[in-house]
Chains A and B, each alone.
Chain A
Amino acid sequence: MNGARIGRVGLYVFAVSAALFFLIPLYVMLATSLKSLVEIRAGSIFSLPVAPSLRAWSDAWSSACTGIACDGISPGFWNSVKITVPSVVLSVAIGAVNGFALSMWRIRGARLFLGLLMAGTFIPYQIILYPLVKLVSAIGLFSSLPGVVFVQVIFGLPILTLLFYGYYGSIPMDILSAARIDGGGFWSIFRHVILPMSPGMIAVAVILQFTGVWNDFLFGLIFAGRDHLPMTVQLNNLVNKSYGEMEYNVNMAATVLTALPTLLVYAVSGNYFARGIAAGAMKG
């Protein structure tokens, strides 16, 4: 069947072309970061580095200028870690408890609560940014690490709550009944029975939230304060600075460094990342 053959080949051609399309920016980032400035200006963007060197990487890490300071983006890296870890831990924990409460206990207006939660995720946060600033200032957390963590947790809760709500909905009520008969209350049942049953969902939640928080820009810019700016903000400052010489290799090295953590998580997470996307999309 010649027609089918051609069709099959055509499919592969398309798939490979698409793959190239998706890989090219990554290749360009890596290649540029390994070249010298001279080579960049002289050569073409797609050429392989003649003498690959990690100098741009070390510059990006420890000596590039991001605004006022010239310590590279390593401070940004550690800030991002300090922001992301607590945010992920807190939001996943609270999301799980919320999901448990809503799906297995009688809460009047649970459906409304979930609906409002879902609707909340549709609000573009730029719209409520200013009042949010006022709110966070009012509780004394503006321009601080706890402040940005607070905001990240709040904005992660709707999707994580929905995630766990859906998951706990599949746990048979009999198990909850048995635990209640055994004398368990809300918290002891959560800790001893429900939590051990959740590792898969926790993995999905952690990956989803880690990716979202690490990649965030605006909340970090506004709420973290000058001493705790995350890596994405420092990156933007580094690359889009309005003065001085453009060191394209350093720029790209910094960009790759910023993308690495979440890329690595993606690479090792296997199916969990896709499940996270699907779950994140389920709110629609």
Chain B
Amino acid sequence: MRRRSHPRWLPRSFAAKLALLPTSLAMAACFYGCLVWTLVISVSASKLLPNYGFIGLMNYRRLFAGLRWETAYSNLFCFGAAFILISLLLGVALAIVLDRNLRAEGLFRGIFLYPLSMSFIVTGLAWQWFLNPTLGLQQFVRGMGLRHFTFDWIVDQDRALYAVAIAAAWHAAGLVMALTLASLRGIDPSVWSATRVDRVHPIRVYWHIVLPMIRPAIFTCIVLLTEIVVKSYDIMIAMTGGGPGGATDLPSLFIVDFSFHRASLGVAAAGAVVLVASVIAALAPLLYLSRKPP
């Protein structure tokens, strides 16, 4: 269609430009204006209230000197890695299984996707209860006879983060499944016919042929999952409240806490800047890689 390749062909309308104005203003102010504001505040002497005195990188030094940020930041990577890995593996596996034309495929799809319709608060609370050491899963397995079974990750400082990762992956695997399945369904059926003619074992087909073909979808999933990781707040608050003892603290919690409860706007803003920079640094090479033609 000529239209898409020649935007100059589109008709002019003042009303159209006017209609876009509110959104433009809102975007400029709320997204980008606020972003710049945060950047400015991060190098200012703000505490409880904004104070526009420039103090250079002092806030950043305070940020990195404090133990809480260090914990929260490293938690981000541990949690992120675990969550993305589990979600990807589970999601892709589910997609591959569903691609094999099972009976009741619709039902299975419905079951795998429903967690996405729920709030992360609901997910967090449900799993918090399920993993309750005295009344939940651990208790159940012990009651079945395995007296020394332990699954108290949720109260274990070293393991709590991974408990949350499992819950989050339970929630988000459906997303990976949906996208991967769509990509799998988009593969030309003649590829499968060719492998049957060549008598290639299905598992090898998947590993060597199919997986590379769905690489763009996988990249999209990684980008989306990373986004979920960085925005994670609800699930932590609901499931562990950031505990035990800061074991499931995250930069997002840190920032909200320091902005609203700890009267340290400047440090919170510094944390925010570091977080954004990390996200860009992590995603940019990923996006660049995914743009390469196959």
Binds A, one of B53-61, B157-165, B205-213, B226-234: B226-234
- A281 CB-CB contact with B under 8 Å: yes
Complex Cα spacing A186 to B11, Å: 10
Within the complex, the shortest CB–CB distance from B97 to chain A, in Å, comes to: 5
Complex Cα spacing A157 to B30, Å: 12
Within the complex, the shortest CB–CB distance from B72 to chain A, in Å, comes to: 12
Given the contacts A28-B129, A122-B227, A131-B38, A14 and B119 also touching, CB distance less than 8 Å: no
- B100 CB-CB contact with A under 8 Å: yes
Complex Cα spacing A187 to B31, Å: 28
A259 touches B119 (CB 8 A): yes
Binds B, one of A58-66, A140-148, A214-222: A214-222
- B67 CB-CB contact with A under 8 Å: no
Within the complex, the shortest CB–CB distance from A44 to chain B, in Å, comes to: 4
- A209 CB-CB contact with B under 8 Å: no
Residue in contact with B118 in the complex, picked from A116, A158, A259, A284, CB distance below 8 Å: A259
- Chain A contacts of B269 at CB under 8 A? 130
List residues of B (100-126) whose CB comes within 8 Å of A's CBs: 100, 102, 108-123, 125-126
The chain B residue sitting closest to A257, CB to CB, is B122
A23 touches B130 (CB 8 A): no
A45 touches B112 (CB 8 A): no
B16 touches A132 (CB 8 A): no
Complex Cα spacing A281 to B30, Å: 22
Residue in contact with A127 in the complex, picked from B27, B38, B128, B136, CB distance below 8 Å: B38
- A274 CB-CB contact with B under 8 Å: yes
Residue in contact with A128 in the complex, picked from B31, B120, B132, B224, CB distance below 8 Å: B31
Residue in contact with A25 in the complex, picked from B31, B94, B170, B221, CB distance below 8 Å: B170
List residues of A (44-68) whose CB comes within 8 Å of B's CBs: 44-46
- A183 CB-CB contact with B under 8 Å: no
Given the contacts A123-B276, A128-B30, A284-B224, A40 and B135 also touching, CB distance less than 8 Å: yes
- Chain B contacts of A252 at CB under 8 A? 126, 129
- Please, how many residues of chain A have a CB less than 8 angstroms from a CB on the other chain? 91
The chain B residue sitting closest to A126, CB to CB, is B252
Given the contacts A12-B102, A173-B3, A32 and B13 also touching, CB distance less than 8 Å: no
B20 touches A113 (CB 8 A): yes
Binds A, one of B77-85, B137-145, B187-195: B137-145
Given the contacts A24-B130, A130-B38, A217-B121, A45 and B26 also touching, CB distance less than 8 Å: no
- A107 CB-CB contact with B under 8 Å: yes
The chain A residue sitting closest to B17, CB to CB, is A107
- B37 CB-CB contact with A under 8 Å: yes
- B155 CB-CB contact with A under 8 Å: no
Within the complex, the shortest CB–CB distance from B22 to chain A, in Å, comes to: 7
- B214 CB-CB contact with A under 8 Å: no
- A79 CB-CB contact with B under 8 Å: no
- Chain B contacts of A126 at CB under 8 A? 231, 233, 251-252, 255-256, 272
Within the complex, the shortest CB–CB distance from A35 to chain B, in Å, comes to: 11
B238 touches A129 (CB 8 A): no
- B10 CB-CB contact with A under 8 Å: yes
Within the complex, the shortest CB–CB distance from B253 to chain A, in Å, comes to: 8
Binds B, one of A81-89, A94-102, A196-204: A94-102
A277 touches B178 (CB 8 A): yes
- Chain B contacts of A100 at CB under 8 A? 16
- A70 CB-CB contact with B under 8 Å: no
Complex Cα spacing A161 to B178, Å: 22
Given the contacts A21-B170, A236-B121, A44 and B234 also touching, CB distance less than 8 Å: no
B260 touches A105 (CB 8 A): no
A262 touches B279 (CB 8 A): no
- A19 CB-CB contact with B under 8 Å: yes
- B148 CB-CB contact with A under 8 Å: no
A132 touches B119 (CB 8 A): no
B268 touches A130 (CB 8 A): yes
The chain A residue sitting closest to B119, CB to CB, is A215
B13 touches A105 (CB 8 A): yes
- B281 CB-CB contact with A under 8 Å: no
- Chain B contacts of A134 at CB under 8 A? 37, 50
B23 touches A273 (CB 8 A): no
Given the contacts A130-B268, A154-B30, A263 and B118 also touching, CB distance less than 8 Å: yes
Q: A25-B127, A124-B252 are in contact. List 9 more A-B contacts (CB 8 A).
A: A22-B170, A101-B13, A101-B16, A157-B23, A185-B15, A232-B119, A263-B114, A266-B114, A284-B220
Interface residue ranges, A against B (CB under 8 Å)? 7, 11-12, 14-15, 18-19, 21-26, 28-29, 32, 40-41, 44-46, 94, 97-98, 100-102, 104-107, 110-111, 113, 116-117, 120, 122-132, 134-135, 154, 157-158, 161, 169, 172-173, 176, 180, 185-187, 211, 214-218, 222, 232, 235-236, 239-240, 248, 251-252, 255, 258-259, 262-263, 265-267, 273-274, 277-278, 281, 284
9 contacts between A and B (CB under 8 A): A29-B129, A32-B129, A45-B135, A128-B35, A130-B41, A132-B34, A154-B27, A232-B121, A266-B117
